Amino acid sequence: MKPWNLELIREKMEMVNTGNPFAVAMDIDAAGLPFLKNMQPPAGSKTVEELREIAGLAKKPFILKGIMTVEGAKKALKAGAAGIVVSNHGGRVLDNCPATAEVLPAIADVVGGKLTVFVDGGIRTGMDVFKALALGADAVLIGRPFVTMVYGGGAEGVAIYVEKLKSELADTMTMCGAHSLADIRRDMVMTPRDLERL
């Protein structure tokens, strides 16, 4: 869902709720972009109070996508979000913004365990999945590679890609001594900042 005005959000939420979704998500990172401001009705940034109202309308877990700062994560928690997606929309919303892997650890340190932390952006392999989990994500979201697999190989292409991800993740876990997803720890990966401290 886009961050439309509250009147349209109420209308859309009624439609969504009739479908009995397992969750409702809103991407908020592009709220100030001209194309959203020029939508009819316009979309734009929301206050914590407005987000809290929207979360209440959802009647299901409410997830906010586009969180890239600790402050944004705190606001999502305050607004009653059940989860956040640490996402920079593939770098398409704001040029030169940090990678999600750079901001994820600090965000997870503050809100991890209080809400579900998803992450996307640049995740292509099972090793990337491992890294994201080690940096504090509860789950990862992968988009573009699946589109490529569908175009290139349909359902079979997707199945092959999923098996590749699973195999790479399992291999990485084995090499790092993680017997289950719960065993994956931050100290199993090194970030550029970690290397600077050596």
Lookup: tokens for 57: 């309308």
The reply to whether 179 belongs to the active site is no
Could you give the CA distance from residue 52 to residue 173 in angstroms, rounded to a whole number? 38
Which residue, chain included where needed, has tokens 């409410």?
Answer: 62
Residue in 60, 89, 124, 164 annotated catalytic: 89
Q: Which residues are marked as active site? A: 89
